Amino acid sequence: MNLERIVITGGPSTGKTSVIEKIEKEGFFCFSEISREITLEARQQGIPQLFVSDPLLFSERIIEGRIRQFQAANEVGKPIVFYDRGIPDVVAYMDCFGQSYGDHFVESCINYQYDHVFLLPPWKEIHESDNERYENFEEAVRIHTFLEKAYTRYGYNIINVPKETVAGRVTFIHNKLKSL
């Protein structure tokens, strides 16, 4: 069986989570975003914000988790799997915040390739901050730019998802996939 790997990505305040949830409700398999999980695990270990206290360790844990997700897709038994963010997101965030990283981050982006990448733009009207999302809207726009750069650098043809209803966005994604 050929496996098609689809990344849904975007910075904070893009409506990405709502789109992923709708895709899941339609019966598609989606690997969830793991950064919130890593943040909550660190809090349980007494580290209030791992991204701030040890950004490299935070990024290491995320890339390890995303590689595990990539590999686990082979066991799902579905012809199409969706990912809430991909491996290049890690490098994009590190570049955005001026962090240094080892070659294995770049090698991971090269060695684990997805079939299609859908990028959702920042959307001021739906922007919210919470305990795990602390970026303001201007930072969300900046992150978006770095996501575009990272995916482009690793050879992806990014498909930009328009701002519209969740159902409209999911229909756009399905229609694009049918036409590719």
pLDDT in tens, 70-105: 999 999 999 999 999 999 999 999 999 999 999 999
| pTM for this predicted structure | 0.91
Residue 43 vs residue 64, higher pLDDT: 64
Which pLDDT score, from 0 to 100, does residue 157 have? 97
DSSP character at residue 124: G
The pLDDT-based confidence of 159 (bands split at 50, 70, 90) is: very high
Q: Which domains does the chain have, with CATH numbers?
A: 4-179 (3.40.50.300)
